[in-house]
Amino acid sequence: MNIGVLGAGQLGRMLALAGYPLANRFTFLDTTGHPSVGIGEVIIDTDQKHLASFLEQVDLVTYEFEHLPVPLVQAIEEHKPVYPSSEAIRVCQNRAEEKALFDRLAIPTPAYRLVESAVELEAAARELGTPVVAKSVTEGYDGKGQAVVKDPSEAVEAWRTINHPRLIVEAFVDFVREVSIIAVRGRDGEVVFYPMAENQHVDGILRYSIAPMPDLDDGVQQTADGYIRALLDELDYVGVLTLELFQTRDGALLANEMAPRVHNSGHWTMDGAVTSQFENHLRAIQGLPLGDTAARMPTCMVNVIGREGEAAELLALPDAHLHRYDKAERPGRKLAHVNLLAPTHDELLERVRACAALLPDAPAPRFSFD
């Protein structure tokens, strides 16, 4: 089967690497003019004249990046199956639509307001109580398109900095940790869940994900499973979906945002789970049985950002697996990740610290259970 992928970055690269053993072929449609996938066939379509050629070659279509024009995805759906659907993209790329869906499904979120001016932003900051986080309703990711407002008087500057006609303003959450749940839904409605991961972000960019979590109550995992299952069923979703959440001191979960694709916080599954998120996504969209999502042993994904370390030193660490994206170094750019495995969480943390010491500018790993 020739699988068409909208987008041509590292997530598409890892999809292809997982798909070749299944005898899949891959054709990528890049609308940016800067593909980095380095694998499969890439059609560069910056002038929107090559869609017909792309569609002639592929059997079905998926995507590795949700910030796509919804009309483009809808147009593709008229000719080829698209998984997940354009409705999933429409909701997930718009924070207002996303929050409305969470509200409708009774999935709790931090208190929020929608604003359309600096004056409304200032009023929301006063009403919710500072600090608040202001985010563009669309187009924001990896910390882009957002600002922290520590005092209502900062609203005008935040509005100018974000430079977007509509913002969502969220109250700060006194959380213990940031977590994510990844699930996969097949064409037949079967759903499987990965163990929840604890995530550490710095400047809006994910740096570490560890799974399974040693102190996670079974009830919390079941609650997260219930939330993401409701989303999957409501959207008649096919493929991998990720839901990022805050866990508060009383154990409750508050939904932050979701991503309709394979996700950075699921990269640990490439070496730490029986079936990776990438293989399971491909199984789902092709109508194949879903694979086992159990963790093989405690695993931590370490993102390599901006500058790479020495591959030989990283691979000398016990049970270390380096996944490089073949991308040029640049501040803030995701260049690779390292998956580390260990029999116990204590041993794993030692390996994570050793790995961080080998990476330029890597922040110190900090996990709630340590």
Three-state DSSP at 98 gives helix
pLDDT at residue 140 in the model: 64
Q: Which is nearest to 47 in space by CA: 30, 35, 62, 64? A: 30
Q: What pLDDT score was predicted for residue 181?
A: 98
Question: Backbone phi, then psi, for 20, in 5-degree steps?
Answer: -60, -40
If 0-12 CB within 10 Å is exposed, 13-18 middle and 19+ buried, where does residue 138 land? Answer: middle
Q: Which tens digit of pLDDT belongs to each residue from 34-85?
A: 999 999 999 999 988 999 999 999 999 999 988 888 999 999 999 999 999 9
List, in order of start, the domains of the chain with CATH numbers: 2-82 (3.40.50.20), 111-171 (3.30.1490.20), 175-357 (3.30.470.20)
Residue 245's contacts (CB-CB under 8 Å, 6 or more residues apart) are 178, 179, 180, 181, 224, 227, 253, 254, 255, 256
User: Per the omega criterion (within 30 degrees of 0), is the bond before 343 cis?
Assistant: no
CA distances from 288 to 44, 209, 222, 283 (A): 30, 28, 25, 5
Q: Which residues, 6 or more positions from 36, have their beta carbon under 8 angstroms from its beta carbon?
A: 8, 9, 10, 13, 325, 326, 327
Query: If you search the block for the tokens 């279509």, which residue do you land on?
Result: 61
Confidence of residue 307 (pLDDT cuts 50, 70, 90): very high
Q: Is the pLDDT of residue 350 over 80?
A: yes
Mean local confidence (pLDDT), 251-279: 97
Contact 208, 303 (CB under 8 A): yes
- Inter-axis angle of helices 218-234 and 95-104, nearest 10: 110
pLDDT at 289: 98
Phi and psi at residue 327, to the nearest 5°: -120, 150
The contacts of residue 217 (CB under 8 Å, 6+ apart) are 251
Q: Which two tokens stand for residue 297?
A: 């042993």
Q: Residue 58: which residues within 8 A CB-CB, separation 6 or more?
A: 2, 3, 4, 27, 80
| Gap between the Cα atoms of 257 and 231, Å rounded | 12
Question: Is the pLDDT score of 143 beyond 70?
Answer: no
Tens digits of per-residue pLDDT, 200-239?
Answer: 999 889 999 999 999 999 999 999 999 999 999 999 999 9
- pLDDT-derived band at 145, boundaries 50, 70, 90: confident
* CB 55 within 8 Å of CB 80: yes
Q: Cα–Cα distance between 133 and 95 in angstroms, integer?
A: 13
Question: Residues with Cβ < 8 Å from 261, sequence gap 6 or more?
Answer: 11, 63, 64, 65, 66, 84, 239, 240, 242, 281
Find where tokens 């790329």 sit: 93
Q: What is the pLDDT of residues 72-124, one digit of tens each?
A: 999 999 999 999 999 999 999 899 999 999 999 999 999 999 999 999 999 99
For the stretch 4-20, pLDDT in tens is 999 999 999 999 999 99
Listed residue (309, 365, 366, 368) closest to 338, CA to CA? 309
Residue 266 confidence (pLDDT) above 80: yes
Residue 139 pLDDT > 80: no
Strand intervals (E) in the chain: 2-6, 25-30, 41-44, 60-63, 112-115, 132-136, 146-149, 167-171, 175-185, 191-193, 197-202, 205-211, 239-248, 253-259, 299-305, 320-324, 334-341
